[in-house]
Amino acid sequence: LKTVWARKHRLCALLRAAAAMGNCVRTPHASDPDGFGQLVGRARGCEIPDTARRGITSAQLRRVKAFVEGECVRRQWTSTNPAKGGEALQPNGVTLYDLNVYVIKASTRSRRCSYVELVSDAEQPPEWFVSHWWGEPVMHFVACLAQHAVDRRLPETAPYWVCAYANNQWALGNEVTVDPADSAFRRAMKIAKGTVSVLDAEARCYTRVWCSYEVYISLMVDRGGERYKYDLYTAIGKGEAVGYTDGPAEVDLEQGATVQWEFVGGALGHKARREERFPLAVAERALRVRLEGAEASEEADRRHILNAIAARDLEEEPLAQHASYDLVNGALRWRAYLSMYSSAASDAGRVRALGLDSIHEPDGWSERAAREYLYLSGSWAQGGRLDLAEHFGRRAITAGERALGLSNPRLAALYDNMARIQEQQGAYASSLELYERALAIWTTANGQDDKAAAAAFRSMGQVLEAQGQYDRAAELLQKAASLFAQCFGPEDTEVGVTYGLIARLHGIRGDHDRALEQQERALAILLKSLGNNHPTVASAYDSMAAEYERKAMFDQAAALYEKALAIKLKTLGEDHDAVASTYCGLAGVYEQQGSYDRALELFGRSLGVFEKRLGEDHPQVSATCMRMATVHSKMHSFDRALRLLERSRRICLKAFGEEHMELANLYSLMSVVLTQQGKYGRALELEERALAIKIKVHGEDHPCIAHSEGNLANLCERMGSSQRALELRQRSLDSLKKSFGEEHPDVAKGYGNMGSMYEKQGSLDRALELHEKSLAIFVKAYGHHHPMVGEAHGRIAQLFCKQGLQDRGLECYDRALVSFVRSEGEDGVGVARTYVLMAIAHRQKGSYDRALELNERGLATFIKALGPDHQEVAGAHGQLAALHELRGALDEALESHERALEIIRRACGREHPSVAGILSAIGGVHAKRGSLARAAEFHEEALAILTGALGQDHPQVARMYVTMAALHEKQGSYERAVELHQQALAIIDRAFGEEHPHVAAACNNLALLHSKHGKDDRALELYERALAIRTKAFGEGHPAVVSTREGISSLKQVR
């Protein structure tokens, strides 16, 4: 009864609609009495006996869309859905049920033919079969096929088979057969190259039995080796649609071959970007579909289709369950899983709730699955989600091994993909093993003289480079270059790219001249093969710029980065991640030159591009945050630096997990920032964690281990563990020598660091020996005219000055000056620094006029190089103030300090620790003028800034207490002075430990105060503690030990 009642209402609705249609038809002109001429266009109409060959083209569908938009309201169409009670229709609400009444049947009434026969001149064999639900809005349906045609690069004449337009709606009994295999649907699918399912928001097409049959044929029926595609499309509003295609669509292949996509995943990257808008909810509904629960307008259709799928008698009652149903359901679930994983993967809880990771390809689909998994793996790798890239890479290998056999070259491609992912994850041993497997397959199939083998050798060389196995890496990269030259000729792009990698390896090993020579060779090949305006050529300029940057030839480096940037902007546009990478390179040059604001501007621009192109959680975003954090730490903006590093940490953990080199590098950088803040315990913990990761990833002999040990040595030294620091420095140096040989610049730095340690311990002869070794290596690596050589001369000069040998120190400063002038020019930052250091040496000699001349020259050079508002300029003003103070020119001293204060406040803000240092110095000048109350005000302000910025327990706060104690002593406030010294001692005790030389210095200061005020017993106790610490740290002959013994002796004599 319910069925009869529903049919009665539907019949009444159709009659009302027909009446409305008849009442509102206009007669535009005599030749088109029904007003349907715009649908037909110039077509004369024809007979197409075979329904399967009645496809409808994109152009014909567009005319249908235009007709609906123009006529729906004008002709007062009403809904044919009984549930809507004949409500007026708007164009966006017209379904195929409505269109069938108002357009398809109305336009074909006189001829009693199919719609396609009305609007065509000849048969139109379908290129694609369309599976859909009639209740989908026609506008959405047309939008989906229009987007499909764009993505598949189909001409507007390419026909789609759509049952409503292909079937003769006046004689449906002739169109639908008892056996679905004989139906026009099935015959059309035999002609088409694939099926496109048009899904509405509820994926209702999967609840219709004919659609289920179409899915079954699309996914399950063997076409004799011919690949039949199955695409899914859905509307996403305002005439837009998005589709998940079976493999890369033609638009992906086309765009992937362009330079814009060459560096961001090619066709797979474009496919991933295109499909990321596919609504998760639509695909999710497909997971719940059960073929056996599908509905049909006619129960006979349902019975016949289910029995056909189960290979049973068509007229039997269909089974409630069958293995064939399960197979189709599994295939559809798997396709839905592939389409939705990209959207769902950002929510691990949802992935688990939907059971996505438990969904696998159907039996017999392994080869197809391996290909699909490879696509997904590549897309996720490009997107920075290496965990998901690995997940699908492993699935691809499992499916490929099962389907292809262990010697198939296509399996080698799967191994190669997984090797790249493992390389990015830092799993180098596993990566090498996979590359070797791939190489073995390719060489067996094609011999070693093969481009795939050459690519494998190159990839293996890069992994070995990352592992620090430089000799073996060089051997494989050279082999790859030779093979590429053999396969493609000596001037092929692949040869040029490989020479670029060889050049980088030379640079890492410290042979910068040879590196540049190879870079020039690579660039020449790339220019000849690609021309001047290609992104790969731009990348070669980037590489050369980086090499010049290592040589501290910053002008040349910046010019090359600018050249690379111009090419990339022209060929790739502003919002490309390759452009962002060059911004980072250029920012690094400005950072090294001390132009921090400009560096941050460029890093910020780079970060914006990476976030826009790759997403906020991509490793490139993390890397850029780390670079920006480094700049902020140099500007003493520690809180900003740590916020950026915390963001980077979250990204790294998500992308790489707990034990990746990126995380180790991050922990090292966080340790450096915390060290600057005086938080040594936390800094030590993070550096040790970084070292543990590096050892696990690379083993104990990699150069990065030496660098971490150097950082640990620095921390141990600050915390008073001098012997431990020395051991770590020695181990770091030995490791660097083992990796690079005796004459690498990193080894020179190691000698320099060791020299500085011995210098602090008072072993000045040993310190000089090590600094001279460092200088000799730098000279051999770079020649006499390099900033590193200038810095080495400067360290030796400072060592001589510390010994009171200012004349010898000035000779070394002269050499340093020549190195800086020849490498940077007369107005370089190194030149300015050297002038200021020379001024200090003359000041120590008492040559105040010469000191003043050099200090002013240094200041002028800083201003010329960096501008008047740079922190280095403030530092030069501070040194000038100290000189004026020594000369007794206190007004000039105050003026210089105030200039420095203005610069630092403008650059760093009013609450920066550097501001506190200048305020303290200004207080000192006021104290010398006898304005003790005014001096106290400046000291109190400085203390407030330090405690606010660094906390109560920072060593700088302790130093401020010592300065304030001296002032209180001058004011006669002995008790307050003692209290401040004790607070300083307590802070230094906590920060460095009880046996640090800084603790000894604090004890010495307090002892001296007590002795001045007759507290001899307390003074002696403190002197003896200081002596014990200094003797243990420095040994008996150190000047600090001698000084403390003299203090004790003097005190005993007085007593």
840/819 Cα distance (integer angstroms): 20
Higher-confidence position of 871 and 505: 505
* Tokens found for residue 503: 């050049």
Specify whether the CB–CB gap between 369 and 395 falls below 8 A.
Answer: yes
pLDDT computed for residue 14 by the predictor = 42
| pLDDT bucket at 181, cuts 50 / 70 / 90 | confident
Q: Which pLDDT score is estimated for 209?
A: 79
pLDDT band for position 333 (50/70/90)? Answer: confident
Sort residue 231 into left (φ over 0), alpha (ψ -120 to 50) or beta: beta
The half-sphere exposure of 586 on its side-chain side, counting CA atoms within 13 A, is 25
Give the pLDDT band (50/70/90) at residue 720: low
Q: Which tens digits make up the pLDDT trace of 1025-1050?
A: 999 988 887 778 777 888 889 888 88
DSSP code at position 150: H
pLDDT value at residue 19: 41
Question: Could you tell me the pTM of the whole model?
Answer: 0.70
Q: Minimal CA–CA distance to 52: which of 189, 168, 205? A: 189
Q: Which of 12-16, 34-38, 490-494, 907-911 has the highest mean pLDDT?
A: 490-494
- pLDDT, residue 32, reads 58
Mapping DSSP onto H, E and C, the string for 901-965 reads HHHHHHHHCCCCHHHHHHHHHHHHHHHHCCCHHHHHHHHHHHHHHHHHHHCCCCHHHHHHHHHHH
Instruction: Identify the residue whose tokens are 């003074």.
Output: 1019
Higher pLDDT among residues 450 and 968, named by residue:
968
- Residue 112's pLDDT band, with cuts at 50, 70 and 90, is very high
- DSSP tag of 171: -
Residues whose CB falls within 8 Å of the CB of residue 344, separated by 6 or more in sequence, listed in order = 280, 284, 350, 351, 354, 356
Given a contact cutoff of 8 angstroms between Cβ atoms, the answer to whether 108 and 115 are in contact is yes
Q: How far apart are CA 1038 and CA 1031, in angstroms?
A: 8
Closest CA to 853 of 835, 865, 868: 835
Residue 1007: name the closest of 972, 1047, 950 by CA: 1047
- Average predicted confidence (pLDDT) for the chain: 87
- The two tokens of residue 671 are 């340790």
Q: How far apart are CA 385 and CA 651, in angstroms?
A: 10
CA angle at 188 for the pair 183 and 192, rounded to the nearest 5° = 155
Whether the CB-CB separation of 589 and 546 falls below 8 Å is answered with no
Residue 719, classed as helix, strand or coil, is coil
CA distance 549 to 588: 9
Helices and strands per DSSP (H, E), number in the chain: 51, 6
CA distance 774 to 733: 12
- b/e 716-747 (16+ beta carbons within 10 angstroms → b): bbbbbbbeebbebbebbbebbbebbeeebbbb
Distance CA 317, CA 336 (A): 30
**pLDDT on residue 30:** 36
* Residue 9 clears pLDDT 90, i.e. is over it: no
- pLDDT top residue among 845 and 1055: 845
Query: In sequence order, what are the residues at sequence separation of 6 or more whose Cβ sits closer than 8 angstroms to the Cβ of residue 727?
Result: none
User: Which residues face 88 on adjacent strands?
Assistant: 78
Q: Which residue has the higher pLDDT, 502 or 20?
A: 502
Strand order in the sheet with 229-237: 56-57, 159-161, 128-131, 194-199, 229-237, 240-244
Whether 17 shows a pLDDT value over 50: the answer reads no
The more confidently predicted of residues 796 and 35 is 796
Give the end-to-end CA distance of the chain in Å, rounded to a whole number. Answer: 122
DSSP secondary structure code for residue 200 in this structure: -
Q: Does pLDDT of 151 surpass 80?
A: yes
Which structure tokens are listed for 1012?
């001045």
On whether the CB atoms of residues 142 and 62 are closer than 8 A, the answer is yes
Q: How confident is the model at residue 13 (pLDDT cuts 50, 70, 90)?
A: very low
Evaluate if residue 276 carries a pLDDT over 90.
no
Q: Can you give the pLDDT at residue 79? A: 94
| Whole-angstrom distance, CA of residue 986 vs CA of residue 1005 | 13
Q: Which two tokens stand for residue 185?
A: 């649907």
Higher pLDDT, 759 or 109: 109
Residue at token pair 């191994």: 415
In the structure, what pLDDT confidence band is assigned to residue 7 with cuts at 50, 70 and 90? very low
pLDDT above 80: residue 91: yes
Instruction: Flag whether pLDDT at 251 surpasses 90.
Output: yes
Alpha helices in 846-912 (DSSP H): 848-866, 871-886, 890-908
Tell me the one-letter amino acid at 282.
V
Q: Where are the alpha helices (DSSP H) in 120-208?
A: 138-151, 163-166, 172-175, 184-191
Most confident region among 157-171, 604-618, 1014-1028 by mean pLDDT: 157-171
pLDDT 10s digits, 976-1021? 999 999 999 998 888 777 887 888 999 999 998 898 888 888 999 9
So what's the pLDDT on residue 861? Answer: 93
CA distances from 246 to 218, 230, 394, 973 (A): 11, 6, 20, 85
What value, to the nearest 5°, has the Cα angle with vertex 535 and ends 532 and 540? 80
Answer whether residue 22 shows pLDDT above 60.
no
Two structure tokens written together for 986: 């307590």
Q: What is the pLDDT of residue 511?
A: 83
Is the separation of the CB atoms in 144 and 198 below 8 Å? yes
Identify the residue with better confidence: 27 or 268.
268
Phi first, then psi: what are they for 537, rounded to 5°? -65, -40
How large is the average pLDDT for residues 426-440?
91
pLDDT of residue 912: 79
Per-residue model confidence as pLDDT tens digits over 805-835: 999 999 999 999 999 998 878 988 899 999 9
pLDDT band at 264 (very low <50, low <70, confident <90, very high): low
Listed in sequence order, the DSSP H helices in 447-550 are 451-466, 470-488, 493-508, 512-530, 535-550
Reading the block at residue 279, the tokens are 């609504």
**Cα–Cα distance, 945 to 939 (Å, whole number):** 10
Mean pLDDT of 654-683: 86
pLDDT of 10 over the 50 cut: no
Specify the pLDDT at position 738: 85
Name the percent of the chain lying above pLDDT 90. 49
